[in-house]
Amino acid sequence: MLKLKTSRSTELPKETAFEQQKRNLLIVDDEESLLTMLVNLFGDMYAVRSATSGADALQILAEGFTPEVILADQRMPGMSGAEFLAQSTQYVPSAIRVILTGYTDVNDIIDSINLGNVYRFLTKPWKNAELLEAIRLCFSHYAVTTHNAELAQALAQLEELNNEKNEMMGILAHDLKNPLAAIQMAGTMLNEPETLGHTDITKFAGVITSSSQRMMELIKNLLDVNQIERGGRAFDIKSCNISFLAQAAVNDYKARAEAKQLTLHYSSEGTINALADEAATMQVLDNLVSNAVKYSPQGKAIYVRVRATSAGTARVEVQDEGPGLSATDMKNLFGKFARLTAKPTGGEHSTGLGLSIVKKMVEAMRGTVWCESELGKGATFIVELPLSR
């Protein structure tokens, strides 16, 4: 039997407040007397859980205990310390793992390091002061590595935001350049009014109007995205007639569809009510019907269907007979500034922000949106929102 000193009077360096944030320690040893001594040794400083076997320790982890440091005896019947530590990674991958052993077998040590992802070995017998200091350093190491991981994640997020900003600036420069150039036609109208006939003035005015509308659409979409992402848009969730909203969206685009020789079909299985923000839902449906008209070739049909599902959702489908979407398009479909291989069929303009806004709005209303498509066979956009009964 190993004789251990159980005095707790050993003075150790004070830990920082950061090191003291999380203090969970799991101890595993099949010798109950040693386990009791270890629990008593560390009990005043850490939230300690203990087990006499690897199987019992895994059960503790499965129940939700999340230790920052695990101290396990290597030689245990049934499951060695290294085997237990290896399995423990599925529950607490970031924990610092320490092996206790009274043996000096080299192969045993190598197996423990490779199999159990062991950070440190401590041999029996030990001095309490050395063991306390070793575990303190393990907690300190966990704090540092966790903090570094958080910093790395924050840095990655900053890099992503910076890349997004650069992408946005490039798109703004590209998408605003042509409309601004067109608007400069106003200078010709002012400087040479006597040389321009009514037909030229009407033409220039039309170009300036459509160009300013494109700029306004882009700016409005950017403001919408920014407002949603920073949580500045409040959604008034209440029962609304989504059948009526879908039909209104269809009616709004009938003239534009007819100009492209498209047929818009609407159907609803009775009056379907959804729990949603009425204005946001109208914006979502407007975007989807607009896209269907924008990307459909002449002479095709567009179908807008509304129904209730057995899953308790109000479902709207917008199906077109356009070019469909490639696998790459499907992957990037709802991304910000997405540029798809499919192009508008009537010279219309796309900011690449519409579907990103649709996704953010639908999810903010506790709904889901997705697309089903096969290249060359059209696309169906589906929105599901909670059903109001």
Q: Helix (H) and strand (E) counts for the chain? A: 12, 12
Between these two residues, 186 and 285, which has the higher pLDDT value?
285
For residue 240, give every residue at least 6 positions away whose Cβ sits within 8 Å of its Cβ, in sequence order, or none.
273, 274, 275, 276, 277, 278, 281, 388
> What's the token pair of residue 169?
């600036």
Closest CA to 119 of 140, 99, 92: 99
pLDDT of residue 74: 85
- Residue 300 · residue 258 · CB < 8 Å: no
pLDDT of residue 273: 96
From first CA to last CA, the distance across the chain in angstroms is: 71
Same-domain check for residues 362 and 253: yes
In a domain, 17, yes or no: no
In a domain, 117, yes or no: yes
In a domain, 222, yes or no: yes
Closest CA to 277 of 234, 227, 237, 231: 237
Neighbouring-strand partners of residue 301? 263
Same-domain check for residues 124 and 58: yes
Average of pLDDT values for 165-189? 67
* Cβ neighbourhood burial of 82 (10 Å; 0-12, 13-18, 19+): buried
pLDDT of residue 5: 39
- Residue 109 in this model has a pLDDT that exceeds 70: no
Same-domain check for residues 66 and 132: yes
Average of pLDDT values for 272-298? 91
- Give per-residue pLDDT as tens, 189-218: 777 767 777 777 787 787 777 767 767 766
- Residue 84 in this model has a pLDDT that exceeds 80: yes
Average of pLDDT values for 18-24? 60
pLDDT of residue 367: 95
pLDDT of residue 235: 83
- Residue 21 in this model has a pLDDT that exceeds 60: no
DSSP 194: G
Question: Where would I find the H helices in the chain?
Answer: 32-42, 54-62, 81-88, 106-116, 128-183, 185-191, 198-229, 242-252, 254-259, 278-295, 327-332, 354-364
Work out the percent of the chain whose per-residue pLDDT is above 90.
35
Same-domain check for residues 128 and 177: no
Lowest-confidence range among 70-84, 168-182, 287-301?
A: 168-182
When the pLDDT of each residue in the chain is averaged and rounded to a whole number, the result is: 81
- Residue 105 in this model has a pLDDT that exceeds 80: no
Among 102, 120, 151, the domain boundary falls at 151
> What's the token pair of residue 228?
């949603």
- Residue 389 in this model has a pLDDT that exceeds 70: yes
In a domain, 2, yes or no: no
- Residue 126 in this model has a pLDDT that exceeds 60: yes
pLDDT of residue 4: 39
Among 121, 151, 181, the domain boundary falls at 151
pLDDT of residue 164: 65
Write the CATH number for 28: 3.40.50.2300
Q: Which domain holds residue 184?
A: 161-229
Strand, helix or coil at 283? helix
Same-domain check for residues 296 and 272: yes
Confidence of residue 174 (pLDDT cuts 50, 70, 90): low
Lowest-confidence range among 10-14, 81-85, 124-128, 310-314?
A: 10-14
Same-domain check for residues 120 and 168: no
- The residue written with tokens 């997705």 in the block is 370
pLDDT of residue 362: 93
Write the CATH number for 193: 1.10.287
In a domain, 6, yes or no: no
- Residue 297 · residue 348 · CB < 8 Å: no
Same-domain check for residues 168 and 33: no
- Give per-residue pLDDT as tens, 28-70: 999 999 899 899 999 888 999 999 999 999 999 999 999 999 9
Average of pLDDT values for 337-365? 73
In a domain, 370, yes or no: yes
Q: Residue 98 and residue 28: Cα distance in Å, rounded?
A: 10
pLDDT of residue 12: 40
In a domain, 328, yes or no: yes
Q: Residue 115 and residue 85: Cα distance in Å, rounded?
A: 8
Same-domain check for residues 260 and 381: yes
Same-domain check for residues 147 and 166: no
Between these two residues, 90 and 335, which has the higher pLDDT value?
90
Same-domain check for residues 196 and 108: no
Average of pLDDT values for 222-233? 70
Prior bond of 13 cis (ω within 30°):
no
Closest CA to 367 of 375, 358, 376: 358
Sign of CA dihedral 39, 42, 45, 48: negative
Same-domain check for residues 167 and 108: no
* Cβ neighbourhood burial of 125 (10 Å; 0-12, 13-18, 19+): exposed
Write the CATH number for 294: 3.30.565.10
Same-domain check for residues 303 and 217: no
Q: Residue 272 and residue 314: Cα distance in Å, rounded?
A: 7
Among 151, 181, 206, the domain boundary falls at 151
Count the alpha carbons within 13 Å of 193 in the hemisphere toward its beta carbon: 1
pLDDT of residue 63: 94
In a domain, 16, yes or no: no
The total of structural domains in the chain comes to 3
